[in-house]
Amino acid sequence: MVDVVAGRRSVVPAGAVTLLRVAVAVVWAYEGVWCKLLGRAPEQRAIIASLPGLPGGLVTPVLVGFGLLELLLGLWVLSGVRARLAAYAQLLVLVAANGGGLLVAGDRIADPGLLLTQNAVLLAAAWLVGRAGHE
């Protein structure tokens, strides 16, 4: 099935784009709220604490700030506003977070291959949403 979305032909049906948008937003909200704001993923705190030059007293504010960033990114994706720009923002956040985490705290990441594989799938979904979104 081929739908026309935002004046372009798309191989992704419009209903599937909505479903993907919600799924991507839920992932960001989960990572931001559950893992960081509620502190349910202590390994993420440990990774932040491993950042070179970060004083111990700033670990919680940085963790909370990153959690809020992820929550806001999820809300942005859910809104559908500037979807392509949101896809680029997600790419930037994922590359920075994964790259930084692997460089400074790779030993604290239980399964780096799984991390990269899951985030590649998230990014693929985000990119489909961004390509199909209304600009």
For 65-115, write each residue's pLDDT tens digit: 999 999 999 999 999 999 999 999 999 999 999 999 999 999 999 999 999
Q: Kindly report the length of the chain.
A: 135
- pLDDT at position 7 is 58
The total of other beta-carbon atoms located within 10 Å of residue 121's CB is: 11
Distance, in Å, from the CA atom of 7 to the CA atom of 24, rounded to the nearest integer, reads 23
Mean pLDDT of 39-60: 96
pTM for this structure? 0.89
| pLDDT interval class at 12 (50, 70, 90) | confident
Q: Which amino acid does the sequence have at 110?
A: A
Residue 7 phi/psi, 5-degree rounding, is 80, 5
Q: Cα-Cα-Cα-Cα dihedral of 122, 124, 127, 129, to 10°?
A: -70
- pLDDT at position 2 is 47
Parse the chain into domains and list their residue ranges.
Answer: 3-132
DSSP per-residue codes, 18-81: HHHHHHHHHHHHIIIIIIIIS---HHHHHHHHTSTT--GGGHHHHHHHHHHHHHHHHHHHHHTT
